Amino acid sequence: MLSIIQNDLQTVKTISDLKRFFLSVHFLMPSLLMVFTFLPMTFIAGLPIQFWIKQICMYVFWIGVFYLTLLVLAPKLLYKSRGLIFGICAFAIICFSYALNNWLEQLINLPAIMQKYVLNGYSQVGNLSVAVITAIIIGIAIINAVTRKIQSDQLREKALENQKISTELSFLKSQINPHFFFNVLHTIYGLTELDPAKAKDSIYTLSHMMRYVLYDTKSDVTTLEKELLFIDNYIKLMQLRISNDVQVIFDKPANFQNTEIAPMLFLPLVENAFKHGISTVHPSFIYIGVSRQENTLFIEVRNSNFDEKAADMEESNGIGLVNTQRRLNLLYPGKHTLNIQDLKETEEFIVQLRIFLT
């Protein structure tokens, strides 16, 4: 059964390769040129062998002109903005084709022979038609070369853009992870003397979180279930160093149907809430809600706000929210909304994120 499937796949690949070849310029151009070269005179019966010898020579010459223009002159001159030199070379080739055709005809005395088959003046008409055909071939080669250059440039730009995005995403993620581990390790360090048992449990929890960061975030996507479990563990660790006056609510459904999402996307929102939503004097709260309606994922983080913040987001909230906004723009362009509100009158900070899943 497997061998049959492999044979079918190989057959499909072969057919696809043949179709691609027959539609390529390397098949179409020689074929059309062959038709154009040998068919116009076939309505005259019994043409001499000298005529066909000359036509074959010119056919080989025209194929050479086409590939010379496509593979040499265009890349070396036209692509490098040397249009004047390219034009001189093209004009020289056209003149050479006129001289070559005339030389071949004189060599085999073709004009005198062809007078028996067609009207007088064959040689002059033939030389001019050869020059025109050569010019047309050069024009077709130029069009094809420019088209290939544009396509190549577009593919290169797309590859560079993808590489740039991948590099930037990796950089943004690397900024987030050390920031997170610094906070957590600082918390565990404070527990080592106060409560060694809790510190031990915290290290165990942290090891699972590190496993997630090291292995499950290597790909572009993870499951929402794993991402929320990571956030849940983070909340447990952060609760070790806050008082009972801080109310932390994590509201999430039990089942997300294996929803895929970019990894490490929610952590900066939660980090920001713990960083700016905790007070040692006043009662504080942090609310984290996650829900999904059809193809829309909604995340809301609310926290009490006691810090005096600068007007600039980067200064007031660190790199977390700035990087999150940048990652969203790269990962979900046009498929997300991020709303940040700093309510001074109620001393509340709200982050609302909607992601439109496909």
Annotated domain spans of the chain: 20-158, 195-356
Token pair, residue 188, equals 């565990």
Which tops the pLDDT comparison, 81 or 307?
A: 81
Choose the weakest-confidence range: 62-66, 105-109, 110-114, 286-290: 110-114
Residue range 126-146, pLDDT digits in tens: 667 888 888 888 988 888 888
Rounded to the nearest 10°, the torsion over CA 56, 62, 63, 64 is: 110
Q: CATH assignment of 195-356?
A: 3.30.565.10
In degrees and rounded to multiples of 5, residue 275 shows phi and psi of -70, -40
Handedness of CA 177, 183, 186, 190 (dihedral sign): negative
What is the average pLDDT score of the chain? 78
**pLDDT at site 249:** 92
Contacts of 80 (CB under 8 A, 6+ apart): none
**pLDDT at site 40:** 53
Please report which confidence band the pLDDT of residue 299 belongs to, taking 50, 70 and 90 as the band edges.
very high
Residue range 175-216, pLDDT digits in tens: 555 666 777 788 788 788 888 888 888 888 888 888 887 777
216-235: average pLDDT: 85
| Integer Cα distance of 74 and 146 in angstroms | 8
**pLDDT at site 22:** 47
Indicate if the pLDDT at residue 1 is higher than 60.
no
Q: What is the pTM of this model?
A: 0.56
105-113: average pLDDT: 78
% of the chain surpassing 90 pLDDT: 11
Which tops the pLDDT comparison, 106 or 21?
A: 106
Indicate if the pLDDT at residue 121 is higher than 70.
no
264-276: average pLDDT: 85
**pLDDT at site 286:** 93
**pLDDT at site 354:** 94
303-332: average pLDDT: 65
Helix/strand/coil (H/E/C) assignment for every residue in the chain: CHHHHHHHHHHHHHHHHHHHHHCCHHHHHHHHHHHHHHCCCCCCCCCCHHHHHHHHHHHHHHHHHHHHHHHHHHHHHHCCCCHHHHHHHHHHHHHHHHHHHHHHHHHCCHHHHHCCCCCCCHHHHHHHHHHHHHHHHHHHHHHHHHHHHHHHHHHHHHHHHHHHHHHHHHHHHHHHHHHHHHHHHHHHHHHHHHCHHHHHHHHHHHHHHHHHHHHHCCCCCEEHHHHHHHHHHHHHHHHHHCCCCEEEEEECCCCCCCCEECCCCCHHHHHHHHHHCCCCCCCEEEEEEEEEECCEEEEEEEEECCCCCCCCHHHHHHHHHHHHHHHHHHHCCCCEEEEEEEECCCCEEEEEEEEECC
Please report which confidence band the pLDDT of residue 312 belongs to, taking 50, 70 and 90 as the band edges.
very low
